[in-house]
Chains A and B, each alone.
Chain A
Amino acid sequence: MAIDRKEVEAVAHLARLSIDETQIERTTESLQGILGMIDQMQAIDTKGIEPMAHPLDAVQRLRADEVTETDQREKLQQHAPATEEGLFLVPKVIE
């Protein structure tokens, strides 16, 4: 499953990364190298083996549905790039 330049561009878009035109070739090559190493996995038959998500097979704990966190909007927004009246500002999305 060798990745090509077009796929790299598509994946970069999915990841919201912009790869400089001059770097695409190099990026594609390095991803090919990594995916080639990863393909060693295909050499082993894993049919019927349960995938392991947590080393100790722990499951998510449940808690009571109660408010535990207080509002900290001002504190959390003070390091935001741009805010106004408690809202995060971004470039206009809808004309």
Chain B
Amino acid sequence: MHEKTLAEQSKALAAGEISSVELTQHYLGRIETLDPQFNSYITVTGDQALEAARQADARRAAGDFNALTGIPLAHKDLFCTEGVRTSCGSKILDNFIAPYESTVTANFRDAGAIMLGKTNMDEFAMGSSNENSFYGAVKNPWDIKAIPGGSSGGSAACIAAQLAAGATGTDTGGSIRQPASMCGITGIKPTYGRVSRWGMIAYASSLDQAGPMTRTAEDAAMMLNVMAGFDPKDSTCINKEVPDYTADLDKPLDGLKIGLPKEFFAEGLDSGVEQVVRDAIREYEKLGATIKEVSLPNAALSLPAYYVIAPAEASTNLSRFDGVRFGYRCENPKNLEDLYKRSRSEGFGEEVQRRILVGTYALSSGYYDAYYRKAQQIRRLVREDFTKALSEVDVLMGPNAPTPAFDLGANTKDPVSMYLQDIYTISLNLAGLPGMSVPAGFVNGRPVGLQIIGRDFDEARLLNIGHKFQQVTDWHLQSPTGLTA
């Protein structure tokens, strides 16, 4: 049953071939047996999952159901889930039982989907390798010596290891697309404002966006149908009608104009990754697409601009963790300042503290114009580049990351070398545009995805483009060996 896609599981539930309780039990068994080697889950919510599965079966029996009723899913551990530990991968929230439910997880709960558990991640979503988790690194199911990518590495790994057919992720600088690419699964970051951020523990509020991670584009479309939509509780959520993302999956691609940003194929790109991406683009030509080179002249400036804006916003957002109202508090504080400082320094990991320091510095008196304002100006230039390129073509295509998944520990010494992992993904977050990764091949046995970038609110088009590729390739159907439980 775990080999089946989410769409196939939905059909099997509808046909009565399996119950949600059976499906949920099956996954819980697999997680117990297989996950110790991958560490993709932080918390498994077995009892709640089985209870929810019983209710889902009752709903189906009563005729009150939709495509996701009874489908087991995993949620990244930065979505608040009422009554369940929500750690955000951090010691500071290790004891935090969320008192409310995020809009995204509430939407899934109301649709009757089952939460199997909460997935591992880089602490506060800060990282590109999932090595920054208080709960230990996640291992790539394709090669346990390799990182799964980050920050949604647990969600990506659990899909690749078939420990859930669908998972939620979040993407602030590539945190859905890069791990999806490295774990050989499908992931889409919607347009900023498409999905509510309410109840997501904030990293960089002007960049954060949630999206689905699945094996196929069709599955991602089914999940996005439940995730997307206006929410008055998120002040930056856009009030715009949500299409049925599954409706146009099969639309022919004749005449599709694909732009290849030349900056995405420049120095620094691994030749194996480039080969995989170019082969994928050739498939699109066979499907009727035409190719054109385009330019994003300010793309290289995305990296410095991002590493001002994201840490600046993070330093502000993370000021709420003070050891007073919730979360970790240090032992025997001498006074209030000692309580703040030690609770935070003992509770936050190294990378989180580093970004808080960078952000605090950038926002400190006298530096605002040189850093934050400058970065916001560059942000506009980056978006204008995309707007121009996407007026010449329908979508852009390129790699998600310069290399395939690297070995655990390979980039932990130098933060800047880790940040370079985000070079092809962060510009989209700055521009607010939707982007997707679909499995496109392998380099030395490690998966590589193709990144597809669209115009604002073009998620349906991206999913259609991903789906058509998956009709003529089988990269998304391949699975790592040694996964039988």
A residues engaging B (CB < 8 A)? Answer: 1, 3, 7-8, 11-12, 14-20, 27, 30-31, 33-42, 44, 46, 49-56, 58, 60-61, 63, 72, 75-82, 88, 90-93
Contacts and interface: CB of A to CB of B under 8 A. Distances in A.
A41 B414 contact: no
Nearest to B239: A61
Interface of B: 95-97, 99, 191-193, 206, 232, 235-236, 238, 298, 300-301, 303-305, 307-308, 315, 319, 322-329, 333-342, 344-345, 348, 353-354, 356-358, 360-362, 364, 370-371, 373-381, 383, 414-416, 419, 430-433, 456
Given A15-B315, A81-B329, A88-B324, A40 B301 contact: yes
Contacts of B336: 90-91, 93
Contact of B192 (A38, A39, A56, A78): A56
A54 to B, nearest CB: 6
Contacts of A14: 360, 364
Contacts of B380: 49-52
24 contacts: A8-B357, A16-B337, A17-B344, A18-B342, A30-B415, A31-B361, A34-B354, A35-B361, A40-B300, A40-B303, A41-B301, A41-B375, A46-B374, A49-B380, A51-B376, A51-B379, A54-B206, A56-B191, A58-B236, A78-B99, A80-B326, A81-B323, A81-B326, A88-B324
Contacts of B340: 16
A49 B383 CA distance: 12
A56 B308 CA distance: 20
A50 B304 contact: no
A44 B315 contact: no
Contacts of A75: 99
Contacts of B356: 15, 17
A91 B282 CA distance: 66
A3 B370 CA distance: 14
A56 B238 contact: yes
B329 A82 contact: yes
Contact of A27 (B235, B307, B324, B354): B354
Nearest to B375: A41
Given A16-B319, A17-B345, A56-B191, 6 more contacts: A14-B360, A16-B337, A35-B361, A41-B374, A51-B373, A55-B206
Most B-side CB within 10 Å, residue of A20, A75, A79: A79
A55 B377 contact: no
Contacts of B238: 56, 58
A58 B192 CA distance: 11
Contact of B235 (A42, A61, A81, A82): A61
A1 B304 CA distance: 15
A33 B415 contact: yes
Contacts of B319: 15-16
Given A17-B353, A35-B361, A93-B336, A88 B379 contact: no
Given A16-B344, A52-B383, A34 B374 contact: no
Contacts of B345: 17-20
A52 B427 CA distance: 13
Contacts of A79: 95-97, 99, 326
B339 A90 contact: yes
A40 B304 contact: yes
A16 B307 contact: no
A41 B353 CA distance: 23
Given A11-B360, A51-B376, A82-B329, A60 B301 contact: no
B175 to A, nearest CB: 17
A60 B235 contact: yes
Given A1-B370, A16-B341, A54-B206, A41 B360 contact: no
Contacts of B323: 81
A63 B235 CA distance: 10
Contacts of B300: 40
B431 A55 contact: yes
Contacts of B362: 38
Contacts of A82: 329
Contacts of B376: 51-53
Nearest to A10: B364
